[in-house]
Amino acid sequence: MVQSRTNTCNDLRIGDAGKSVTLCGWYENIRKVSKNLAFLILRDFYGTTQIVIEDEKMMAIIDDLNRESTIRVTGIVRERSSKNMELPTGEIEVAPTDIEVLGRCRYNELPFEVTRSKDFDENTRLTYRFLDLRNPEVKSKIVLRSQIISDIRKAMTDEGFLEITTPILTCSSPEGARDYLVPSRLHPGEFYALPQAPQQFKQILMASGFDRYFQIAPCFRDEDARADRSPGEFYQLDMEMSFATSEDVFSVIETVLPPIFEKYGVYKTAGKPPFRRISYFDALETYGTDKPDLRIDLVSQDVTEELKGCGFGPFDGADTIKAIRVSSFNASRKVIDKLLQDAEVISGFKGYWFRIGEDGQAVGGISKFLAERKDSLVSKLDLKQGDFVALTVGKRNEAQKAAGVLIKILGANAEGHMDSSRYEFCWIVDFPMYEIGEESGELEFCHNPFSMPKGGAAALDVEDPLTIMADQYDLVCNGVELSSGAVRNHDPEIMIKAFEKVGLGEEDVKKKFPAMYNAFCYGAPPHAGIAPGIDRMVMLIAGESSIREVIPFPMNKNAQDLMMGSPSRVEEKQLSDVHIKVVEP
């Protein structure tokens, strides 16, 4: 077997001068000095090496090539006269004795400069993703993803978990999002579904006697795209533990994740266990969100009693008024107005403000309505000279949401209120089991129908459904929800009682979840689990704002794979084989 190369484009150093080597890679760029002298940059997966062209024969080969062609260069390593110490190979160059074309680029014009691909619009990048991925900056995020997943696998194995893969073709299951359906050729009119998550399978594994399971699981949900959510498919660190409580799950996650965030993250500090635990309702009341960014030291406080009926129209008869105190924030009126406008665009609710002036009086914004309320506000909010106060108003959930958006915006813009150099984790706990659906107006599961209600069967028997808490939890990092998890409802009788509350009887449960219900009837252990999103973790670790930057072949915002041309029409015969007829809208 002939070795196609002796070295990569990141190998050679000054000590290799005089050696005969063979390199393979992409012709990235060239700088011509004269008709017989040019400096070519050769790039492979590992780095770049300068090739110096000094004769007509070699120049003729290069002149016939377009950039991004792949070539093999054989030549002699020598010391560069003009060194570039910023490059690992910057002290040497290779003088070729032979250049062979391995793969010709047939286009004179590229859709973008490979090393500047991130400057171009996303659809162009995704159409030519194979070129985009050649950009070392883009490629590095995919390499990082691989390294992170490798370390996660090792850490989970070290914690005693067994990696088990679960089916991709399964049955449709009501798990909160739209399914991707796959028609069956052998069973006309029937459909498989791609799994929204391996939820039922992993719980059945616990009932099957497996003690600790995990996998890097592909999940499929027909959802709209967001910056932190890719449409179509995503991956999660799916795990489940038998004979476990939430404390056992917390211990594993707090052991596995912080070292990985510290090792690979753009920030080298990650929160140490135990992570802070915040109840769902406290999170909404204090931070205006169930995904708080604890790097920000701002909180919201209820000032309804202090400001209700103060003479300012929006506050008269208000249900809830929230205040956020920001110390030493002396921004101009123009800046403040812009920040409040930005918050209104995001939350849909208007914000108001005032500050404490040098004389200790309220000034600016709506201060003229606060003269008689100033002392009570100073006492409630512990206000001092120079403090800025942002205010939101509305129904409780509206005022909380608006306050949460303002906390995030003010934290990022008011100096000294956000430590952006670390990863800060927290657990959100004590979620309500049920809620009144906004669209249906009826009782619905709030979060996860498979969760164990706190208090078990007794709670379902005697408590108001809207007061029942579920033994479930969310993992949040820097304001991003990484995962939801729960202690599972493993008792068939409690499961039936839980579903009866939302109008589903025993037969409905058996029909919707036949395998899991049946498995639990044969003696299931108490079990708990969680599934942090791999894509979101890598996005945070890499310091990227879009999840698509850390996925090798992502879809665009419209759930299209522009490179492959998916989704696409199929031939009539293919539709006939699976007993499908397309009805145009």
Which of the residues in the chain have pLDDT under 50? 1-2
| pLDDT attached to residue 176 | 66
- Give yes or no for a cis peptide into 258 (omega within 30° of 0): no
**Which superfamily is assigned to 14-103 in CATH?**
Nucleic acid-binding proteins (2.40.50.140)
Distance (Å, whole) CA 484 – CA 292 = 15
pLDDT of residue 3: 63
User: What integer pLDDT is reported at residue 231 of this predicted model?
Assistant: 86
Length of the chain: 585
CA-to-CA distance for 206 and 490, rounded, in angstroms?
10
User: What are the residue boundaries of the structural domains of the chain, listed by start?
Assistant: 14-103, 137-267+529-577, 296-413, 425-525
Alpha helices in 371-471 (DSSP H): 374-381, 396-413, 456-462
> Each residue of 559-572: pLDDT tens digit?
999 999 999 999 99
End-to-end CA distance of the chain: give it in Å, rounded: 59
Q: Domain 137-267+529-577: what homologous superfamily?
A: Bira Bifunctional Protein; Domain 2 (3.30.930.10)
3-state secondary structure of 81: coil
Task: Note the CATH number of domain 296-413.
Answer: 3.30.1360.30
d(CA 134, CA 117): 9
Question: Per residue in 214-232, pLDDT tens?
Answer: 999 999 999 887 777 788 8
Return the pLDDT at 553.
97
What is the CB-side half-sphere exposure of residue 417 using CA atoms within 13 A?
22
- Asked if the domains at 14-103 and 137-267+529-577 fall in one CATH topology, the answer is no
